[in-house]
Amino acid sequence: MTDSTARPVPEAFRDSANVSATSYDEMYRRSLEDSDSFWAEQANRLLHWFTSWESVQSGSLAGGDARWFEGAKLNAAYNCLDRHLENNADSTALIWEPEDESAENRRFTYRELHDAVCRSASALRGIGVKRGDRVCLYLPMIPEAVISMLACARMGAIHSVVFSGCSPDALRERIDDFQASVVITADQAIRFGRKVPLKARVDIACENLESVKRVVVVRRGGDDVDWKDGRDLWFDDLLRGAPSDSPAAEMGAEDPLFILYTSGATSKPKGVLHTTGGYLVYAALTHEVILDHHAGDVHWCTAELGWITGHTYSVYGPLANGGTVVLFEGSFDAKKPARTWEIVDKYQVNSLYTTPTLIRTLMAQGDSHLETTRRNSLRVLGTVGEPINAEAWNWYHSKVGKDDCPVVDTWWQTETGGIVLSPVPAAESIKPGASAKPFFGIEAGLVDDSGELLEGEATGHLVLSRSWPGQMRSLYGNHDRFVESYLSANPGHYTTGDAAHRDADGHYRITGHVDDRITIAGVTLDTSDVENAITSDAGIAEAAVVAYTRDDGKDGIYAWVTPRIDTVTDNALADALKNRVQESLGETAVPDVIQWAPALPRTRSGKILRRILKQIANGAVDDLGDTTTLADANVVDALVELRQKGS
């Protein structure tokens, strides 16, 4: 059976944590009751402000016009770099680990990263980029991506990082939406040892796009690229002559810092807009409290920089806090499961922040890959992006962390800027995937289908009911769509789109996206409940359950199930899995089909693409919609074939 009993947090951790469980509750209370003074204190403690604010907060979440630290001036890059130069110039800011483990890594001290960012900012100014201009970054996971983000922030340009797996069409749509004047890219990215032609894709994307005046190219793959004279420039050439004296622009707290597109599976992508002051305070505080950052810590967040997790927890949060960040170029290769742990040991990583997907992928490979590494440096283990099933949580906790580290299952969204719900790392104990509390300043609630707020223990739509500093301010260039998408379904609240359960202690458990729920014979089921029942079998690595129409026209449940490496997949096991579901959820929830799947289709941000699994289950495979964010398109072909064979 699924073992969801709470696991104690080791005393050594609790004694040294930044915020004890009691202070957490006390700080939370203050953050709501005495909100202005709470946030003013945090903002002053965590960041350097050139000019202080006139008001801590104004406007409101519900009105769509929330503003934080109005009147204040600061610079995000200054806070991530210059502020640490006085005492920590020689400590390591960034360690880059290349995909090819035999190649040399790269390290930047704070002084070196500061110098690179200053020169890049001067170079951007030199090619005519002005404050408020938009710069598109379409780059591999290399230091130049971090440098470019901070260079934009330093000179006041708005960056928009587009995930390097995006197709030319998707890239073009985004560049056109935010009217970038400059695109920074690389000749080629390196992925699974192969070269991916980023510059060539940019050329296609930018054809006849008038806004794009310059394309700056970082050399990574080393192969030749087509060149457009007058438009294209090598990053190295640009930097060579650029002065390293580059003052940090004094930005208003509410000036935009970046735009980040959320993948629109069905609709036009949304350009989520984050501003400078509130975002940075929230990024720094959540990183300090939830990932329990201490001076000198090494932090590794495995997310791509093209996702919000990469922005907040590989760049802005940890660098604002003066930490050391590990950046891994590679994709996680199921054939080399030990690599993840080797990186942890090599750099003595203290906090590891990753996705349930990666955990399950590694867990599917058995445990032997853990044996060659020690992982003793780890103190906190985090996960984000999807619900984590108890088996995966337990494996992460006991096998990876050797029962020595709290596991924090953090819930948040591109739109929220930073972690919104999480277990308190220094709690007495933490329950797998289930002990999340609202972070400071967050007023979370549940509403029913008619929008009524629910009290006490309940299941419903998760809403957030007051502004917090890290919240998105708008959708770029379309404020009406922002209000319509997030603020109108439940007036007075921000609607997250996720369903959640709240227990009697006020702890939340996310059950998945509202759209993923299945209704069978009038009963609504949370797919994650069915999936948890299936993955409670030790032979199973992962499961994704979708609704489908059976041959007899009735609604049914189709379960895609990935076994662990040594598992024999026979009918007896399929029956055993159905039994588990029946025992924990009853007959209605039992899947009609258990389909063995060698792997599940997922985005490179680690989310299972249920939409595609649903289409395949329903045999509707002619048009699979937007598949640009798929980590591995071959997986889809394999599943279509299995479905057709009905095996």
Residues β-bridged to residue 184: 137, 216
Q: How far is CA 358 from CA 101, 365, 385, 608, in A?
A: 19, 11, 11, 11
- Residue 296 CB, shortest distance to ligand WT7, in Å, is 26
- Residue 498 CB, shortest distance to ligand WT7, in Å, is 5
CB 502: neighbour CB atoms within 10 A? 21
The contacts found for 525-530 with CB under 8 angstroms, 24 or more apart, are 525/557, 525/585, 525/588, 525/589, 526/499, 527/610, 528/387, 528/389, 529/584, 529/585, 529/589, 530/557, 530/559, 530/581, 530/585, 530/589, 530/591
User: Contact, 520 vs 497, CB < 8 A?
Assistant: no
Considering only residues 62 through 101, tell me which ones interact with ligand WT7, judged by CB under 6 A.
none
SS (H, E, C) 152-177: HHHHCCEEEECCCCCCHHHHHHHHHH
Stretch that binds ligand WT7, among 119-127, 228-236, 366-374, 492-500 (CB under 6 A): 492-500
Q: Applying CB under 6 A, does 611 fall inside the site for ligand WT7? A: no
Residue nearest to ligand WT7 (CB): 414
Residues β-bridged to residue 30: none
Q: Which is nearer to ligand WT7, 151 or 464 (CB)?
A: 464
CA distance 272 to 95: 29
Q: How far is CA 170 from the centre of its chain?
A: 20
- Residue 15 CB, shortest distance to ligand WT7, in Å, is 27
Q: Applying CB under 6 A, does 387 fall inside the site for ligand WT7? A: yes
Q: What is the DSSP letter of 22?
A: H
Q: Which is nearer to ligand WT7, 187 or 626 (CB)?
A: 626
CA distance 195 to 223: 9
Q: Which is nearer to ligand WT7, 413 or 467 (CB)?
A: 413
- Residue 436 CB, shortest distance to ligand WT7, in Å, is 8
User: Contact, 556 vs 549, CB < 8 A?
Assistant: yes
Q: Applying CB under 6 A, does 626 fall inside the site for ligand WT7? A: no
Q: Which is nearer to ligand WT7, 182 or 301 (CB)?
A: 301
- Residue 410 CB, shortest distance to ligand WT7, in Å, is 5
- Residue 34 CB, shortest distance to ligand WT7, in Å, is 28
Stretch that binds ligand WT7, among 145-153, 188-196, 228-236, 412-420 (CB under 6 A): 412-420
Q: Applying CB under 6 A, does 386 fall inside the site for ligand WT7? A: yes
Q: Applying CB under 6 A, does 544 fall inside the site for ligand WT7? A: no
User: Contact, 449 vs 477, CB < 8 A?
Assistant: no
Among 412, 440, 468, 558, binds ligand WT7 (CB under 6 A): 412
Q: Applying CB under 6 A, does 321 fall inside the site for ligand WT7? A: no
Among 92, 164, 394, 410, binds ligand WT7 (CB under 6 A): 410
CA distance 272 to 529: 31
Q: Applying CB under 6 A, does 308 fall inside the site for ligand WT7? A: yes
- Residue 144 CB, shortest distance to ligand WT7, in Å, is 23
- Residue 63 CB, shortest distance to ligand WT7, in Å, is 23
Among 213, 346, 481, 513, binds ligand WT7 (CB under 6 A): 513
Considering only residues 590 through 609, tell me which ones interact with ligand WT7, judged by CB under 6 A.
605
Please count the residues of this chain forming the interface with ligand WT7, following the rule CB under 6 A: 19
- Residues 254-273, one symbol each (x = binds ligand WT7 by CB under 6 A, - = not), give --------x-----------
Q: Applying CB under 6 A, does 279 fall inside the site for ligand WT7? A: no
Q: Applying CB under 6 A, does 529 fall inside the site for ligand WT7? A: no
Please choose, from the candidates 515, 521, 542, the residue with its C-alpha nearest in 3D space to the C-alpha of residue 530. Answer: 542
**Ramachandran area for residue 492 (φ above 0: left; ψ -120 to 50: alpha; else beta):** left
**What residue ranges bind ligand WT7 (CB under 6 A)?**
262, 308-309, 384-387, 409-414, 496-498, 510, 513, 605
